[in-house]
Structure 1
Amino acid sequence: MKLTTRYGRMAVLTIGVSVALTLAGCGGSSDAGDSGTADVDLGTVNKATGAPVKVGFIGDAEAGSGALGNAIAAAEASTEYANEYLGGLGGNKIELVTCSTEATPATATACAVKLAKAGVVAVTTGVTGQDHAIFEALKGTGVPFIVSLTADAEIMGSPTGFVFQNPLAIATASAALIKKNGAKTGGFIVVDAPAATGPVEALTKPLFKAQGLGFEMVPLSLQVADPTSAIQQSINNGSDAFTILGDNAFVTRAIKSLNQLGFTGPMITNISAFQKDQIDSLPNGLKGVTTMSSITRIPEREGLSEFATIMKKFGKDIDTGADSGQVAYQTFLGFVESVNLTPGAGTSAKDVIAAMKHMPKAVPMRLAPGLTLNCDGKAVAVLQGVCNARTIAATLNAKGFATTEALL
Structure 2
Amino acid sequence: MAGALALSSLLLAAACSSSGSSGGAAKPAGGAGTGEVSSAPVANSDNNAWALRYTGGSAGPAKGTPYKIGFVSQDTFLPSATQGARAAVAYVDAELGGVGGRPIELVSCSVNVPEDAARCGAQMANDASLSLVIVGGLSVGNKEFYDAVGGRKAILIGNALASEDFVTTRGVAYTAGSPGVLMGMARFAVEELKAHTVAGIVPDTPAGRAAAQQLVKPILDAAKVKFRPVFISLQATTPDLTTALQASGAGSADALITAFPPSSCISMYDAIRSLGIKPKVITTDQCADVPVRAHLKTVGAPGAVPDGWYYANYGYNFDLPDVDSGMKTYQYAAAKYAKPLGSAPVELRGFSGPTFGTVMTAAKIVNQLGVDKATSFDVVDRALRGFAGPAMLQVGPLKCGQAPFVAVCGHQIGVDQYSGGKWTSVRDGLNDKPVNLLAPAS
Q: TM-score, normalised on structure 2?
A: 0.73
Q: Distance in 2 between matches of 1:160 and 1:390?
A: 22
Q: Measured at CA, do residues 140 and 159 of structure 1 come closer, stay the same or move farther in structure 2, by a change above 3 Å?
A: closer
Match of 2:188 in 1: 177
- Aligned CA RMSD, in angstroms, stands at 3.5
Establish whether residue 278 from structure 1 lines up as the match of residue 304 from structure 2: no
Equivalent residue for 2:328, pick from 305, 315, 337: 305
- Please state whether the residue corresponding to 1:118 is helix, strand or coil: coil
Alignment of 1:9-408 (within 5 A): 19-22=7-10, 32=35, 37-38=40-41, 39-41=43-45, 42-43=48-49, 45=59, 47-48=61-62, 51-61=65-75, 68-90=78-100, 92-102=102-112, 104-119=113-128, 120-130=130-140, 132-133=142-143, 135-152=145-162, 154-167=164-177, 168-179=179-190, 180-197=192-209, 200-201=212-213, 204-221=216-233, 222-226=235-239, 227-235=241-249, 239-272=253-286, 273-275=288-290, 276-280=293-297, 281=299, 285-294=305-314, 295-302=316-323, 303-316=326-339, 319=346, 321-344=348-371, 345-359=373-387, 362-368=388-394, 371-372=395-396, 374=398, 377=400, 380=402, 382-397=404-419, 401-402=423-424, 404-406=426-428, 407-408=434-435
Contact 1:158–1:385 under 8 Å retained in 2:
yes
Partner letter of residue 274 of structure 1?
D
Distance in 2, Cα, partners of 1:354 & 1:202: 31
Q: Which runs of 5+ in 1 are unaligned?
A: 1-14
The answer to whether the 8 Å contact 2:157/2:173 transfers is yes
- 1:191–1:197 CA contact under 8 A, matched in 2: yes
- Shift in Å, 1:390: 0.8
Contact kept? 1:125, 1:147, Cα under 8 Å: yes
Q: Give the gaps of 5 or more residues in structure 2.
A: 16-33, 50-57, 429-433, 436-442
Aligned AA (1:267): V
Aligned 8 A contact 1:270 1:292 in 2? yes
Give identity over the alignment, percent. Answer: 20
> Which residue identity lines up with residue 332 of structure 1 in the other structure?
V
One-letter amino acid matched to 1:82: V
> Mean Cα displacement is larger for which, 262-271 or 386-395?
262-271
**1:290 maps to amino acid:** Y
Structure 1 residues 223 and 386, CA gap change in structure 2 (3 angstroms):
closer
**Compared CA separation, residues 354 and 195, structure 1 to 2 (3 A):** closer
1:391 alignment partner, SS class: strand
**Separation of aligned partners in 2, 1:394 and 1:121:** 38
TM-aligned CA distance change 1:85 to 1:116, over 3 Å: farther
Number of corresponding residues: 380
Distance 1:203-1:47 versus aligned 2 partners, 3 A rule: closer
> More displaced, 276-285 or 117-126?
276-285
C-alpha contact 2:84 2:355 (8 A) present in aligned 1: yes
The amino acid across from 1:57 in the alignment is F
1:11 aligned partner = none
Aligned partner of 1:211: which letter?
A
What's the CA shift string for 1:39-60, capped at 9, x where partnerless?
A: 5222451554564322122232
Deviation at 1:169, TM superposition (A): 3.1
- Greater CA deviation, 312-321 or 68-77? 312-321
